[in-house]
Amino acid sequence: MVGRQLVRFRAAAVRPQRGTTVVELMVVAAVLGVLAALLVVPAYSQYARARETSDAAAILAQDISYLERYAQDSAPFEGATLEVQSFDPLTYTAYAGRPSWLDAAWRIRGIIFKRTFSNVALNSRAWNGKSPLLFARNGSVQYVNAGGWADQHVTLTIVLSSRLDPTRTASVDLNPFTGAVATLSI
C-alpha cells in the first residue's frame, strides 16, 4: 500500500502547470495598442488643430523679431523684408535686403526663410499683407498702408485665423517704432 501511494504522489507532482505563452502576451499587447491608438490619435489630432493658429502666431512673432535683429546687424542699405505670398493659406518669405523700388541703393540679396501654414489664414485689417514689412537698421519697421507710409506710432495688429475653425484666432502685435512684438491667442 505504501508503494502505491508513493506512485500516485509522484504522478500528481509531475503534472505540467498551465501559464501564458509569449504569443498570448503579444496578442494582448497588440489589442491594447490598437485600443490606445483609437483613443489617443483623434484626441491628439484635435489638440494639434486647436494649436495651429496660436503656433503660427508665435512663429510669426519670432520671425519678425529675428528679422529686426538681422536688419540691425546688416550693412547700410541692406535691412530685411517680410513679404506675404498667400493669405489663405498663409505663406510668407523673408529676404535679406529691401526692394529696389524704395531706393536704387537697396536690393533683395536672397531668401532667409520661407514659411507656409496650411491651415492658417491672414485676416488682418490694419495690414493686409499686400505691402511687405520692411525692417530698417535702426530697429524700426515700415510698411505702406492706403497708398502711403503707415504711421509708426500706431501698433500694427496682424490677425491670423484657423481655416478649419474660423472662431480660433491669434494675433501678433507689432510696434513699428520700437520693434516690440507680442502674441495673443483667442
Quick one: average pLDDT of 153-180?
Answer: 87
Q: Is 100 left (phi over 0), alpha (psi -120 to 50) or beta?
A: alpha
For 69-89, give one letter per residue: b (16+ CB within 10 A) or e.
ebbbebeeebbbbbbbeeeee
DSSP-assigned letter for residue 19: -
Q: Do 169 and 183 contact (CB within 8 A), yes or no?
A: no
For residues 84 and 95, give the distance between their C-alpha atoms in angstroms, rounded to a whole number.
11
Q: Would you say residue 107 has pLDDT above 90?
A: no
Quick one: average pLDDT of 64-82?
Answer: 89
Looking at residue 10, its amino acid is R
Looking at residue 122, its amino acid is L
Instruction: Label residue 99 by pLDDT band (50, 70, 90).
Output: confident
Domain 31-185: CATH class, spelled out: alpha beta
According to the model, what pLDDT value does residue 128 have? 67
pLDDT tens digit sequence for 108-142: 888 999 999 999 999 876 676 678 888 988 888 88
CB-hemisphere CA count at 13 Å for 71? 28
For residues 124 and 119, give the distance between their C-alpha atoms in angstroms, rounded to a whole number.
16
Positive or negative, the CA dihedral 183, 96, 108, 79 is positive
- Domain range list for the chain: 31-185
Q: Do 80 and 135 contact (CB within 8 A), yes or no?
A: yes
Its pTM surpasses 0.85: no
* Helices assigned H by DSSP within the chain: 2-13, 22-73
Q: Lowest mean pLDDT of 7-16, 119-128, 146-155, name the range.
A: 7-16
